[in-house]
Chain A
């Protein structure tokens, strides 16, 4: 706990010898607009982070701090202005559908296709042989508890079910890495907490490497092995906090004083940054 407060970079590194390295973010920055342009935005500055195989890391910070940008960069959906990202030692330059699957905030299901067809289309894009589509799709829908809704269209599902469907689509791709961009942001708190519990169980079973962007302090502490807290824009990783707790996590951990303590610590860390962001937006005094 004490070294978590340490300003030095020790927590950016994976604890030696414990896990194998999966994702390496090395001095990555992202700038939009040319030098001297008044609209130029430094979205992300010199971010470094290592994620071990099977680890779940949450990115948290004020709006516009570059946490989603970092996720896009890791996923190869955009190229960084500076620095380098490596997956399994290999530099990321484009999406890697064989290695990385995505769960987006919302509306990323294709509304003209049923849940089952959505899951199958993902596999078609990824290049899975057609003969395997049906079985793998059914399997992953089972895993998220949506088997009965395979024939429904996305608009016929609740927000929580839509996100389960997205998760099923991602699972069917059988990638080692899962990137989740505020997947539960649009849900009410109760649904979000329940989905969080389910997710913890599911993920403990699959052993995937996960980077998860969230706005929710509780969600971050509940799910993550480590939480990376970002500063206000220009976004930098301010500190990384380790959550020493095995998976799957249950509601016992949810209500524990350990979680509360870590959440408070995280809140202390983010408070000033959120305040800065609000000042810039002219919301606070």
Chain B
């Protein structure tokens, strides 16, 4: 039933869209859904999205690895002292609320129009949810686990790897998921502003050449990519939570 309503809603939107294109709206601004569908099939058949998809995915993976490594390392270091948590947690939370996309022009100056500036942008955006969730996760570990491990003689290293990290893992994982998705959005945004290649660049190019039907087809394609990413990450998260209530 829920599914049915959801599908009905999408169909309704498409119908409204089709209706709008029948009237006075120029097909240059809003191409009819059928035309977009045709272009989408062409896009899939010719597969000429590969070079741009490869660039965007490379940027995403690089940005995510940087953010995941630095975020979890800094988060772990901070959470070792409750004083550091009180100092840095609000600081990172405050910085997270600044629209980091404003740094993008600076990154273009630093790293150029190529993938470098997108990686920096994506890593900056993805860093904050990772570091914040790492701090939260590690400082919320149940004291009972710590006391039990201590009574059995756990060394500091064993305490971190066998108790703290697994106990905090679900929260850290949620941070990684948010980081990956928001990093992806930031990279696409960066590509639409200033770039040589990538999926965002492709869409801007098509818009500027008034090829709106193909542009919409590419937007649908990006949505597909985002959906696959999300599904993959949710799957990984569910696997990671296994065994934890």
Contact B151 A127 (CB under 8 A): no
Query: Contact at B245–A111, with CB atoms within 8 Å?
Result: yes
Minimum CB–CB distance for A118 against chain B, Å: 9
Q: Which of B149, B153, B158, B169 neighbours the largest number of chain A CB atoms within 10 Å of its CB?
A: B153
A95-B150, A111-B244, A112-B244 known; A121+B144 contact, CB < 8 A: no
Contact with B along A140-171 (1 / 0, CB 8 A): 00000000000001110000000000000100
Q: What are the residues of chain A within 8 A of B223 when measuring CB–CB?
A: none
Stretch of A4-12, A14-22, A102-110, A131-139 on the interface side = A102-110
- Expressed in whole angstroms, the Cα–Cα distance for A114 and B243 within the complex equals 8
Known: A112-B167, A112-B243. A125 touches B147 (CB 8 A): no
Q: For B163, give its contact among A97, A104, A110 (CB under 8 Å).
A: A110
Q: Considering the chains assembled together, what is the distance between the CA atoms of A85 and B106 in angstroms?
A: 63
Contact A122 B147 (CB under 8 A): no
CB of A125 within 8 A of CB of B243, answer: no
Q: Is the CB of B154 within 8 A of A125?
A: yes
Query: Which residues 198-245 of B sit at the A interface, judged by CB distance below 8 A?
Result: 243-245
A104 touches B144 (CB 8 A): yes
User: In the complex, what distance in Å separates the CA atom of A95 from the CA atom of B243?
Assistant: 29
Residues of A within 8 A of B243 (CB): 111-114, 153
Residue of B nearest to A123 (CB): B152
Q: Is the interface of A mostly helix, strand, loop or mixed?
A: loop
Tally of contact residues, A, Cβ under 8 A: 29
Given A101-B152, A107-B144, verify A124-B158 contact (CB < 8 Å). Answer: yes
Q: Which of B147, B166, B169, B244 has a CB less than 8 Å from the CB of A104?
A: B147
8 Å CB contacts to A: which residues of B156-177? Answer: 158, 162-163, 166-167, 169
Task: Tell which of A95, A105, A153 touches B153, judged by Cβ atoms closer than 8 Å.
Answer: A95
Closest Cβ of chain B to A96, distance in Å, is 8
Contact with B along A28-48 (1 / 0, CB 8 A): 000000000000000000000
When the two chains form their complex, are residues A97 and B151 in contact, meaning their CB atoms are under 8 A apart?
Answer: yes
Given known contacts A97-B151, A110-B163, A125 and B144 CB-to-CB distance under 8 angstroms? no
* B110 close to chain A: CB less than 8 A: no
A75 neighbours in B (Cβ, 8 Å) = 151
* B145 at the binding interface (Cβ < 8 Å): yes
Q: A107-B144, A111-B244 are in contact. List 13 more A-B contacts (CB 8 A).
A: A77-B150, A102-B147, A104-B148, A105-B144, A108-B144, A108-B148, A110-B148, A114-B243, A121-B162, A125-B149, A125-B162, A154-B245, A169-B152
The chain A residues found within 8 Å of chain B, CB to CB, are 75, 77, 95, 97-98, 100-102, 104-108, 110-114, 121-122, 124-127, 153-155, 169, 173
- Subset of 25 A-B contacts with CB under 8 Å: A75-B151, A77-B150, A77-B151, A95-B151, A98-B153, A100-B151, A101-B152, A102-B148, A102-B151, A104-B144, A104-B148, A107-B142, A108-B147, A108-B148, A111-B243, A111-B245, A112-B167, A112-B169, A124-B162, A125-B154, A125-B155, A125-B162, A126-B152, A154-B245, A169-B152
